[in-house]
Structure 1
Amino acid sequence: MFSDSRIYSVDLAKGIALILILYLIEFSEGITGDWFFGNLYHSGTSILYTLILSFFFFVSGIAVPFRLSKRINDGQSVYDILKSVFAISLIMITAGAMLVNIPRVNKELTGFGPGVWAVILVISIFLVWNRYPEKDNNFFTVSGLRITGLAILVFLVFKFRSGTWENNGSLITGHWEIPGLYGWGLLASSLIWLIVRNSVSGTVAAWFFFLALNIFSVLGLNNILNPAHRYFGVLIDGYIPFIFISGMLAGVMIKHYPSGNKGKLISMLTFTGIIMSAAGLLLYFKVLPPEGLYGQPSWALTGAGLSMLLFVVILYFYDLEDKFKIKFAENTGRSFFTGYIIAFFLYGIADIARVDLHASGNGSLPALSFAVPLLFSFVVTCITVILSRIGIRLRF
């Protein structure tokens, strides 16, 4: 059974999402060469990848009411909670902005290639934002490690050169990678929750607001905000916040779950998921056919609806009925970004060693093309769990 501050199904769902994302990254050819995980949108795995990302952002939104409610119950003020929300969001957005610039590193102008830059970046991220043990005698050690990591990050920013006209060859923003998108979504959903708290009607109103914002964005009705789009485009487009708040709506509904009435909760969530999915398909085929995948309101609705239905299954068997436990995936989910960023480290090492991790995808054995990505995903998740057990785990 889930507690008042945590739903264990969320951790399991995040773990499953990470394993699938890592699999698709490795399965899709050519990612190592240009470093954009976003290139999955140009491959045959694009639909599945879009739905998995939607699922991850959705379940992340579910946790918001539980996490913030716990802080309020612990006696934290709204001001302290706001400081924490803005801090973690800024950390995620910064990490995403740094990661997304890896493919733009110009070896001749920077002094080292994308692989070296990625490895140093990942090390510095862990130095700054590792979840260090809270002991009285390690304050100066921890502070020293964080200052060292921060100094490395500053060095990387000033050392970075792309050799292109964009932003005079310096770092660019716009596509924020998964950590950055998570940061923007977390910021929007947390602020909304602090306003409406566990009100279903208030959450639904916010849900409609961001859906409308997403539709306006696709129709070009919010072009007046274009000057701010470079930095606040994720919020202006409404797509990511909508999926987060869809998950938050599910979390609020679970918070209102009447004790002993599992059937009502499951029916309520299932009905909501079906309505969202049906509305998305209606929008897709009859009202506003999408020009692509990411950022489209039809995909936002469909992705949120299908995510709701999948999560209902996990919630029912994992938390409500307690039919099984998958601690490996659950522990992986608790360290989602540790595992995700470790993948950048491994690809950086491969780039330095000039090893093509996607060579199996170019062979004549289809079974190998499926098995190697599965092995890669398993290795990364194993590394993630091992690092967590020895005290190396990111704070976000």
Structure 2
Amino acid sequence: MSTAPALRISSIDILRALTMVLMIFVNDLWSLKDIPGWLEHTAATEDGMGLADAVFPAFLFIVGMSVPLAINNRRSKGDDNGKIFLHILERGAALLVMGLFLVNGEYLNAAATGINRSVWNVLACLAFIGIWNSWPKSANPWIKRIVKTVAIGILLVLAFICRGGEGENVQRFSTYWWGILGLIGWAYMVGAIVVMLSGNKTAIIAICWAFFLGICIASHAGLLKNDIIEMIIGPLGVGGHVALVLGGTITTNIFFHYHKQQQSAKMMGVLLIMAIALFGLGVLLRPYWGISKILVTPSWVLICSAITIVVFLLVNWIADQHGKAGWFNFIKPAGTNTLLCYLIPYFAYAIAGASGWSLPDWILTGAVGLLKSLAFALLIVGIGGLLGRLGVKLKL
């Protein structure tokens, strides 16, 4: 079982779209009150997970599902491992840059910097779009160069003027943590390099998956108490984030192995058994380190992998096996222009904050509030689709 075909199946894009809609939705829950606790993030020391804790790992898993398709697509264009490696580094570095700028916005000292967090986020996101927008072929090359140069200049100025922290602890642009995008970037780079070097051979990838899961287990067991080791594995979620990515790749390879043989029922059976096994192992390990997204415990990695596989099977059954992909067209931009949809809420919150406009309490409370956050997520996706049609498409 090796290289997956260079094609896209609608269920992967749909799963990515559903995950992005959920991410926007759960990221908006802070604006609500009196909502069920199971929807929100659990504390680092709490043994458990809410819906919000299952979204990020699902995204990592989907990143892994897309990796073999992307690599095989580049191979079909004649790229060798050297070119593919550079492309992986470029994409990963872009995510690291975006993650760091957004994280520094979280810790921004507005008075010392001279701009508030909302302005920072808007300028940073505009710069991201200027640098990584996929322009139409008809676009003037000089305009593209000017926009990209200005965008890079904006990021350099922001990094120079940035001051974070409070009181005597004010510091310059810093790595507080890598941010959601940065963590995805690290896991993507390591996972994609593994897939590339392995020739997308499932057996080798499975061994690497076990290796990174083993690192995660060893770290939580206190067997890796070394500053250098912790510095290396920290950005990788102590190995857990990479295991999620590689789990997604294995899922794609198994899917296409049976898909090529037109054995959909067997494919679903094998992946369902895999999901049950992952879930069971996660339950078995729970008494040792609990379930925690923030701590990236082994149980969290395994259980979230299982959940994502089951959701993928359901989406595939509806969209691909029964030809109902059109049911999901209203969220399609979240699956094809995903990064832009992730950035748009930063503009929305900045505009709302600057205008001083706020919703009445009854719209922000309980079930009505949840409907508001869902409507907000769908509105963001709609705006992403409109901007995409106007030529704003982020592609790393």
> TM over 0.5, yes or no?
yes
What is aligned with 2:270? 268
TM-superposed deviation, 1:41: 4.1
**Counterparts of residues 40-55 of structure 1 (less than 5 Å):** 40-42=41-43, 47-55=50-58
Distance 1:369 1:90, change over 3 A: same
What is aligned with 2:98? 95
**Counterparts of residues 62-81 of structure 1 (less than 5 Å):** 62-81=65-84
TM-superposed deviation, 1:357: 6.4
Of 146, 167, 172, which residue of structure 2 is paired with 1:170?
172
Task: Kindly indicate whether residue 394 of structure 2 is the aligned counterpart of residue 391 of structure 1.
Answer: no
Task: Decide which moves more: 169-178 or 349-358.
Answer: 349-358
What is aligned with 1:109? 112
CA distance in 2, matches of 1:336, 1:248: 19
CA distance in 2, matches of 1:109, 1:206: 46
Amino acid at match of 1:158: F
Amino acid at match of 1:376: F
Identity %: 23
Contact 1:280 1:297 in 2 (8 A): yes
What is aligned with 1:194? 196
**Counterparts of residues 236-247 of structure 1 (less than 5 Å):** 237-247=238-248
TM-superposed deviation, 1:352: 2.6
**Counterparts of residues 271-290 of structure 1 (less than 5 Å):** 271-285=273-287, 288-290=288-290
Amino acid at match of 2:381: T
What is aligned with 1:250? 251
Amino acid at match of 1:278: G
CA distance in 1, matches of 2:133, 2:168: 32
CA distance in 2, matches of 1:274, 1:190: 26
Task: Provide the secondary structure at the position in 2 that maps to 1:169.
Answer: coil
Task: Decide which moves more: 169-178 or 209-218.
Answer: 169-178
Task: Provide the secondary structure at the position in 2 that maps to 1:47.
Answer: coil
Of 55, 58, 61, which residue of structure 2 is paired with 1:58?
61
Distance 1:131 1:351, change over 3 A: same
Q: How many residues align?
A: 382
**Counterparts of residues 134-145 of structure 1 (less than 5 Å):** 134-135=137-138, 138-145=140-147
Amino acid at match of 2:151: G
Of 339, 342, 351, which residue of structure 2 is paired with 1:340?
342
Distance 1:107 1:231, change over 3 A: farther
When normalised by structure 1's length, the TM-score is 0.89
TM-superposed deviation, 1:95: 0.2
Task: Provide the secondary structure at the position in 2 that maps to 1:28.
Answer: helix
When normalised by structure 2's length, the TM-score is 0.89
Contact 2:224 2:230 in 1 (8 A): no
What is aligned with 1:382? 382
Q: Please provide the CA RMSD for this pair.
A: 2.6
Contact 2:9 2:320 in 1 (8 A): yes
Runs (4+) of structure 1 exceeding 6 A deviation are none
Give a deviation string over 1:103-161, Cα, whole Å, max 9, x none. 211121111111111111111111111111234x6211101100000000000000111
Structure 1: which 5+ runs fail to align?
A: 32-38
Of 63, 86, 89, which residue of structure 2 is paired with 1:86?
89
Give a deviation string over 1:314-363, Cα, whole Å, max 9, x none. 12221233234222223321111111111112112223334456955765
Task: Kindly indicate whether residue 117 of structure 2 is the aligned counterpart of residue 120 of structure 1.
Answer: no
Give a deviation string over 1:166-218, Cα, whole Å, max 9, x none. 98512232532222122112101111101212312111101100100111222
Task: Provide the secondary structure at the position in 2 that maps to 1:61.
Answer: helix
Contact 1:58 1:246 in 2 (8 A): yes
CA distance in 1, matches of 2:169, 2:77: 45
Give a deviation string over 1:244-286, Cα, whole Å, max 9, x none. 111011012123224221111111111111111111111114x
TM-superposed deviation, 1:27: 2.0
